[in-house]
Chain A
């Protein structure tokens, strides 16, 4: 604020700030207990870069790689899930812990609820099937996955489903490769896909 000529006004403006962080934290804690926070999110470090994670009462609703700006993802959540979106270390604690264990090679599946509401129709069917049927350390081709959902000619649409997966890593679209073992694409970038596959095959040095 620009200083004025008036010492009274300057003094009014220089009131001590108190502890904003603590009071905010207390308020959000209470809001969470009262069920007033519909989506909690946090950004967490990982070997594939900072990961955005968002959680609702139903479970993990969104994971994002750093190529997606946090502001944009949060905005999307406000629009598509609820405007009551708040940064929340508490709410995301469990998913972040499980991700840490996964990256440390100490976890081969996630015990988390999954909130599927950011995907629908065929894409959702494919992602759910992938989540249920393709375990840690295995891979599957786009075509094979298309066959599994009963639509062998839909491997392209399966590709789109992977590309628009709102919950990568937890819903393991990195386990889907092109026929013949080519990597195919990945929302988090191919180096991330390679790293995840190496981690699960036991090739990567533990991270």
Chain B
């Protein structure tokens, strides 16, 4: 299968990859991860053998950039966004009222999840990827991808309702 113009990949998946990077690495570092991912993808693209699953190919690259970013952050001690900010928010209705705060803080909470759960949640609900592709990006089985999403949701639910 011949490789389509790179522009088409960006048109089709650029927005989702961008959201993914921002949600995973935050508004300060997300844009860098996204740019790094685009550059890495362009560099590798002409040598790509199989153009049949470009979406998971691109997300795999973005995922690696995000993981690299988190590893660098982990080595460099610095204040992390506190979950307390979420639980301290005024609670009104129901167990997940913290969500009223909007996506930003919720995603900060996602940022505290273990790596696999964090990636799985973002790929599932931001990028809308099917489990088979999530598994491909995370390098695990489809069942493990489902399990990571489930576990991540459970943990988020308990944390935002605390």
Asked, given contacts A7-B99, A15-B106, whether A24 binds B10 with beta carbons under 8 Å apart, the answer is yes
> With an 8 A cutoff between CB atoms, is B79 at the interface?
no
> With an 8 A cutoff between CB atoms, is B7 at the interface?
yes
As a 0/1 sequence over residues 131 to 162 of chain B, the CB contacts with chain A under 8 angstroms (1 = contact) are 00000000000000000000001001100100
> With an 8 A cutoff between CB atoms, is A46 at the interface?
no
Asked, given contacts A12-B126, A15-B126, whether A74 binds B107 with beta carbons under 8 Å apart, the answer is no
> With an 8 A cutoff between CB atoms, is A177 at the interface?
no
Cβ–Cβ contact B106 & A18, under 8 A: no
**Chain B residues near A82 (CB-CB < 8 A):** 46
Cβ–Cβ contact A13 & B125, under 8 A: yes
Cβ–Cβ contact B46 & A83, under 8 A: yes
Give the tally of cross-chain contacts (CB within 8 A): 113
Cβ–Cβ contact B103 & A16, under 8 A: yes
Interface size class of A (residues with CB under 8 A): 35 or more
Cβ–Cβ contact B19 & A17, under 8 A: yes
Cβ–Cβ contact A85 & B6, under 8 A: yes
Max chain A Cβ within 10 angstroms of own Cβ: one of B39, B128, B160: B39
> With an 8 A cutoff between CB atoms, is B5 at the interface?
yes
Task: Please provide the 3 A-B residue pairs with the shortest distance between their CB atoms, ordered closest to farther.
Answer: A15-B103, A83-B3, A11-B99
Q: Which residues of B contact A (CB under 8 A)?
A: 2-8, 10, 14-15, 18-19, 22-23, 27, 30-31, 34-35, 38-39, 42-43, 45-46, 94, 96, 99, 102-104, 106-107, 110, 121, 125-126, 128, 153, 156-157, 160
17 contacting pairs across A/B (C-beta < 8 A): A8-B99, A11-B96, A11-B106, A12-B106, A15-B19, A15-B107, A15-B126, A16-B102, A16-B104, A17-B18, A18-B22, A20-B14, A26-B31, A74-B7, A78-B4, A86-B5, A86-B6
